[in-house]
Structure 1
């Protein structure tokens, strides 16, 4: 069986990710959205997550019996990460903060998947991944825009919300789509704009 996930992250780094994550966990537990105890309920051999609690349907609006699944928990991340990097493609918007041009302008799905891209176009795509690794490891990052030739920090590029440069993330494994009302409450509790990313493994 394949697994789906919904990841909620902040739009940028927060100062105290562990403290803020504990605040959000307590809020979710008080509302009985998740259980208080950690258990084996996420896709990780190193970490545990929080299973849905009695009132988890308040966050999703209806019950799809997710408790019958082995993978059904909430995973919390408090380390710097390019969230959803596995979904990154040349069709992800990565817009230069200087000239507002998408780094991958001119690359079509047909060309990319039929290997008709030029070497320059492939280089535009492939050179991003080492910067992802640097950013996740707290190193200085920079990308040179192929259009205006300006060098900018990776995190200053604008994306289409399919990836996020953050150090605080909450991944709901195999939960149905979250209610807008719940997301607005979560945003208020976090105190910053959030990004929702859906994925599939």
Structure 2
């Protein structure tokens, strides 16, 4: 059985992410969306998570008996990272800020997923990941556009909202779809624009 996740992160970095995480955890616990204690309920080698609380249904709208799952909880992240980088493919838009052209222009899903890409096309894809790592480590991260040959900062590239360069996020492991009202309240509590990303392992 595969594991699904919903990641909610801020669109950009926030100040004092650890303080913000304490505020959000306190709110989720007071509303009994999550439990009070950390446990091994998420797929992470770094963090533990919070299991669903007694009123977790308020966040999803209906009961899917998720409490029976071993992997089911909320993971809080407060360090710089490219959120959802594991779901990054050549189908992800990465648009040059200088010429507004997608880095992966001309690569089709059929070619990418059947290993029919040229070496040059694959290189355009694989060279992005070292820059992800640099950005996460607070190093200079940039890409040279294959179309206009201009170098731009990684975070100046426009994406299609399937990844985010941030330092604050929550991952809901194996939770069903979240209610719009809950997401709106979460955004208000965070006090910044948020992005929602789905994926599975």
TM-score of Structure 1 vs Structure 2, range by shorter chain = over 0.9
| Structure 2 residue aligned with 1:128 | 128
State the SS of the aligned residue for 1:134: helix
Structure 1 CA distance for aligned equivalents of residues 200 and 57 of structure 2: 21
- What is the CA distance between 1:45 and its match in structure 2? 4.2
TM-score where L is the length of structure 2? 0.96
Structure 2: runs of 5 or more not aligned: none
- What is the CA distance between 1:118 and its match in structure 2? 2.5
Is residue 176 from structure 1 mapped to residue 152 from structure 2 by the alignment?
no
| Structure 2 residue aligned with 1:10 | 10
Count of residues in correspondence between the two structures: 201
Structure 1 CA distance for aligned equivalents of residues 15 and 110 of structure 2: 42
Structure 1: runs of 5 or more not aligned: none
State the SS of the aligned residue for 1:110: helix
State the SS of the aligned residue for 2:176: coil
Structure 2 CA distance for aligned equivalents of residues 173 and 37 of structure 1: 16
Deviation track 1:41-64 (CA, whole Å, cap 9, x = no partner) reads 111344311111111111100010
Aligned CA RMSD, in angstroms, stands at: 1.2
State the SS of the aligned residue for 2:129: helix
TM-score where L is the length of structure 1? 0.96
| Structure 2 residue aligned with 1:187 | 187
